[in-house]
Chains A and B, each alone.
Chain A
């Protein structure tokens, strides 16, 4: 789950980390008033879940309340990476002594937490090759020396060093306690008063840990709204999936092709999708099923996919299944097609799900005169056979 800057800052301030003074504004007039009450130069930042805001023109500076009003008016009309800016974070502009980048995440190589620091903060940090790096265990509490090690490598000394190391410890603690997958402060600013302040932050929470982050989720209202803003098609697929706990059916992404796809999950869907593109076919969607979905789930998903205007045919392909039952998928697909008033043998361009309960599945397909492939036919051959169905 992506956490917007404004919400991430709320979380960080609960960990006693310093953030700039500021507020969320939703109109030019609010921007004027907010800048007026801060009575100093300000920065206005659109709150969208997309990185590269600065380069895309989503960040503006203003010297006066009038300028803030005008910039807010511009930002509220701006669309960046398909996100419109409804909320703007207006903050005091910090006086910068120096700025750094700090990133905290998990590293698949070392299989630990990892802290990355760089003195070239800002938007080009990925190109920097002077990266300070330290690993940590997510089993609480993080020792302070890790922060000191990073601060020293970044070239800070005396009081700046000690303050920075405390901030690193606090960030790691926040990362662990929030079940974050990514906590990135870019930049972390050392002000001319030698205070470390978090100017911008990217935070991503572990969806698989949200069940134990209920308290935190109460404090991220803007990010919660974001979760609701998925496209209708994807939203409907989610609803089908959550209607029944049996199996996974509905991780769905739409394209504009004519071939609807129901595929085995994970590695299978990637393999099948590659084969479909290599065969020059035009998929209408990416959709994974697995974990033995119920007939109802498969039926609803089949209908959803076939109701896309561009879709003519449906391809149903999985790896040799051991948990998902061939017969239940076959029944669900056929029911969905029949309920739409269509003829299964015309709509199904290929059916290839060998494995558990295959005999029962094949009996259903035979009954509707739908041809199918068994385990002796590879996924590639099954996909290639679709070409002659168009």
Chain B
């Protein structure tokens, strides 16, 4: 039983009539995902790849009993789409749109938290439980997804959607499958961090190890390290931290407030050191990941 998404997940796509959304809808269905309805205000009554389109999330949910939504509307409309999904009591929102105003992202997450709903993203390629389902667009068309991803015991959480497929492909090439892979989103503020999702993986009997793809900036890795120092975790964790060059090159100087908020955290080498100190296996090279997973599970 994977986390977040399994073959029973009933998915709607908001913005299904868009160019990109219509493509990933078709590809997801070919992969086996149950995309039960789409929503585009003003285009209710149409069908896209045999999926019924509704004007509202409420109507789509009532007709098809959906439990997750992929939000792929243009950035200015994401806030509205997400609040509509939350009002319709959808409990899993995967927001693939990028370049959403920060104020809207925070607003969406606040509302989701109040309603006990989970947000993945924004700026995510989605969630995939190989062989079962995919919510979003990670891995591309069904044929490519099957080449890169295979079912197995390793969970992946990645701050980069593209690198999630790269890592899954590496593992698959080494004969190691994946349980659930989550592209958590590339934005500074995302709905679900490593730490938010860790308890789900801990409970998931199918998952035997975790691989993380980390990036400079933010405090997600630092938070995880603090948690691991204070709590036990049954899963061995392998992490790769990209952007180590940021330490050698003159970085972007944030304001005083940014520096105080992060209190000197956020540099890739600090992240590596802290994660290592809390028992995480830090891969120096991306290609070391499969070996580290093998050695430690």
Residues in chain B near residue A378, CB distance under 8 A? 170, 286-287
Residues in chain A near residue B261, CB distance under 8 A? 105, 107-108, 114, 116
Contact B255 A137 (CB under 8 A): no
Cβ-closest chain A residue relative to B213? A267
Residues in chain B near residue A125, CB distance under 8 A? 256, 260
Instruction: Tell me, in angstroms, the Cα distance from A268 to B243 when the chains sit together.
Output: 9
- Judged by a CB distance under 8 angstroms, whether B163 is at the interface is yes
Q: How many residues of B contact A (CB 8 A)?
A: 63
- Judged by a CB distance under 8 angstroms, whether A373 is at the interface is no
Contact A108 B189 (CB under 8 A): yes
8 Å CB contact of A108 from B170, B219, B246: B219
Instruction: Tell me, in angstroms, the Cα distance from A354 to B258 when the chains sit together.
Output: 38
Q: Which of A106-147 contact B (CB under 8 A)?
A: 106-109, 111-114, 116, 125-126, 131, 137-139
Contact A111 B109 (CB under 8 A): yes
Residues in chain A near residue B260, CB distance under 8 A? 103, 116, 125-126, 131
Instruction: Tell me, in angstroms, the Cα distance from A296 to B109 when the chains sit together.
Output: 39
Q: Mark B68-103, 1 if CB is under 8 A from A, else 0.
A: 000000011000000000000000000000011111
- Judged by a CB distance under 8 angstroms, whether A307 is at the interface is no
Most buried by B among A51, A137, A319, A380: A319
Contact A139 B110 (CB under 8 A): yes
Q: What is the distance, in angstroms, from A250's C-beta to the closest C-beta of chain B?
A: 15
8 Å CB contact of B255 from A107, A204, A264: A204
Instruction: Tell me, in angstroms, the Cα distance from A357 to B173 when the chains sit together.
Output: 19
Contact B216 A270 (CB under 8 A): yes
- Judged by a CB distance under 8 angstroms, whether B223 is at the interface is yes
Of B1-9, B57-65, B135-143, B201-209, the stretch lying at the interface with chain A is B135-143
Q: Which of B170-229 contact A (CB under 8 A)?
A: 170, 173, 186, 188-189, 213, 215-216, 218-220, 223
Of B35-43, B44-52, B154-162, B274-282, the stretch lying at the interface with chain A is B154-162
Kindly state the interface size class of chain A when it binds its partner. Answer: 35 or more
Residues in chain B near residue A275, CB distance under 8 A? 285-286
Contact A274 B163 (CB under 8 A): no
- Judged by a CB distance under 8 angstroms, whether A192 is at the interface is no
Q: What is the distance, in angstroms, from A205's C-beta to the closest C-beta of chain B?
A: 10
Cβ-closest chain B residue relative to A115? B257
Contact A126 B259 (CB under 8 A): yes
Instruction: Tell me, in angstroms, the Cα distance from A275 to B286 when the chains sit together.
Output: 9
Q: Mark B102-119, 1 if CB is under 8 A from A, else 0.
A: 111011011000000000
Q: What is the distance, in angstroms, from A280's C-beta to the closest C-beta of chain B?
A: 13
Instruction: Tell me, in angstroms, the Cα distance from A291 to B169 when the chains sit together.
Output: 19
Of A29-37, A178-186, A232-240, the stretch lying at the interface with chain B is A178-186
Q: What is the distance, in angstroms, from A12's C-beta to the closest C-beta of chain B?
A: 16
Cβ-closest chain B residue relative to A277? B245
Q: What is the distance, in angstroms, from A270's C-beta to the closest C-beta of chain B?
A: 4
- The answer to whether residues A267 and B163 also contact, given A182-B258, A202-B255, A209-B103 and a CB cut-off of 8 A, is yes
Cβ-closest chain B residue relative to A212? B76
Contact B258 A319 (CB under 8 A): no
- Judged by a CB distance under 8 angstroms, whether A25 is at the interface is no
- Judged by a CB distance under 8 angstroms, whether A323 is at the interface is yes
Q: Mark B262-292, 1 if CB is under 8 A from A, else 0.
A: 0000000000000000000000011100000
Contact B158 A186 (CB under 8 A): no
Residues in chain B near residue A356, CB distance under 8 A? 140-141, 144
Instruction: Tell me, in angstroms, the Cα distance from A101 to B245 when the chains sit together.
Output: 32
- Judged by a CB distance under 8 angstroms, whether B242 is at the interface is yes
Q: Which of A1-56 contact B (CB under 8 A)?
A: 51
Instruction: Tell me, in angstroms, the Cα distance from A106 to B261 when the chains sit together.
Output: 9
8 Å CB contact of A268 from B163, B189, B255: B163
- Judged by a CB distance under 8 angstroms, whether A320 is at the interface is yes
Instruction: Tell me, in angstroms, the Cα distance from A290 to B123 when the chains sit together.
Output: 13
Instruction: Tell me, in angstroms, the Cα distance from A109 to B195 when the chains sit together.
Output: 11
Residues in chain A near residue B141, CB distance under 8 A? 322, 356
Contact B163 A108 (CB under 8 A): no
Residues in chain A near residue B245, CB distance under 8 A? 270, 273-274, 277
- The answer to whether residues A211 and B242 also contact, given A270-B215, A356-B140 and a CB cut-off of 8 A, is no
- Judged by a CB distance under 8 angstroms, whether B147 is at the interface is yes
Residues in chain B near residue A336, CB distance under 8 A? none
List, sorted by A's number, 7 A–B pairs whose CB atoms are closer than 8 Å. A103-B255, A104-B257, A125-B260, A266-B160, A268-B162, A318-B162, A321-B162
What 5 A-B pairs come out closest when comparing CB atoms?
A267-B160, A322-B140, A103-B257, A209-B101, A319-B166
10 new A-B contacts at CB < 8 Å, known A266-B215, A356-B140, A379-B166: A105-B255, A106-B188, A108-B189, A131-B260, A137-B106, A179-B101, A268-B162, A274-B244, A322-B162, A378-B286
Taking beta carbons and an 8 Å cutoff, which residues of B are in contact with A? 20, 75-76, 99-104, 106-107, 109-110, 125, 137-141, 144-145, 147-148, 158-163, 165-166, 169-170, 173, 186, 188-189, 213, 215-216, 218-220, 223, 240, 242-246, 248, 253-261, 285-287
